[in-house]
Amino acid sequence: MSNDIKFSYNTLVYAGEHIKQGIKRIAGFGYDAAEFVGEPETMDAQYIRSLLEQHQLEASSICAIYTTERDLVSSKPEVRRNAVRYLKQCVDFAKTIGAKGISVTPTANMKIHAEADRDTELRWAAEGIKEAGLYAGAHGIRLTVEPWNRYETYLINRVEQSFELVNEINLPNVGVMGDTYHMNIEEIDIVEAFRSVGSKLYYVHFADSNRAAPGKGHIDFKSIAQVLVDIQYEGYISMELLPPFADPFSGVRCEEYYDEYTKESIDYLKALFASIA
Ligand code: LER
Ligand code: MN
């Protein structure tokens, strides 16, 4: 088995608690890293860095939040520019806390209608991600293009679409990301989708079919773990578990996603990868 995969937990789900609690919990249960929401203007990067050092935890990635004011394919040029500016701020934030990457999806979250024709929007997406990607690359940070399911975006829903955009952008620090929750809705075959990306797979989110901890739904994680080993994936698997509400940023507090799912998930992941030859 590969020893190069590291495990992370996305603090996005820890609604309503101080970040120091989340970092302490994630470190305490034995993860390698934590993932952080990208709100550089309201989060204290130096403080997070000092907490990470104290708990000997890495920062895997920044979970960037795309809104109607930060939309890489808005028909309004100032909104597209603001999305690129936001991404550059996330790069600075990532650099300070030591995060290796930032997730990118080129529409506002839950925007399900296009504002221009597909080719134009894909061109805007490529231009914006390229500009942010060049800035990120100069700081040693990766951008990972994450497909979302059809209820959260219409533009990049499947890994092959992310791969196509990434190839068009053609920067060494811009790669593909896969989230098993979205993939379970949109891919024909999750395993083959991961395999098709090979070394351009830069980041992975794990959640079961209902976005709960692995084992609480019906995704076959053994075959997914196997393909990640087969393609020699060397990045993080970050648990992105969210309560059963349509809006991923609802901020609803659900008790089981704190201690219970954080512990269950790392135990599950360690047993899963140990079981692979
Ligand atoms: C983020 O990683 C994600 O998967 C979306 O559903 C929410 O932004
Ligand atoms: Mn995700």
**pTM (predicted TM-score):** 0.98
Cβ 101 vs Cβ 62: under 8 Å: yes
Ligand 1 neighbourhood includes 63 CB (under 6 angstroms)? yes
Q: What is the set of domains in the chain, with CATH numbers?
A: 5-274 (3.20.20.150)
Nearest ligand 1 atom to alpha carbon 248: 7
Tokens standing for 116? Answer: 């221009």
> How many whole angstroms separate alpha carbon 72 and alpha carbon 121?
8
One pLDDT digit (tens) per residue for the chain, 277 residues: 456 899 999 999 999 999 999 999 999 999 999 999 999 999 999 999 999 999 999 999 999 999 999 999 999 999 999 999 999 999 999 999 999 999 999 999 999 999 999 999 999 999 999 999 999 999 999 999 999 999 999 999 999 999 999 999 999 999 999 999 999 999 999 999 999 999 999 999 999 999 999 999 999 999 999 999 999 999 999 999 999 999 999 899 999 999 999 999 999 999 999 999 6
* Ligand 1 center from residue 277 Cα (angstroms): 31
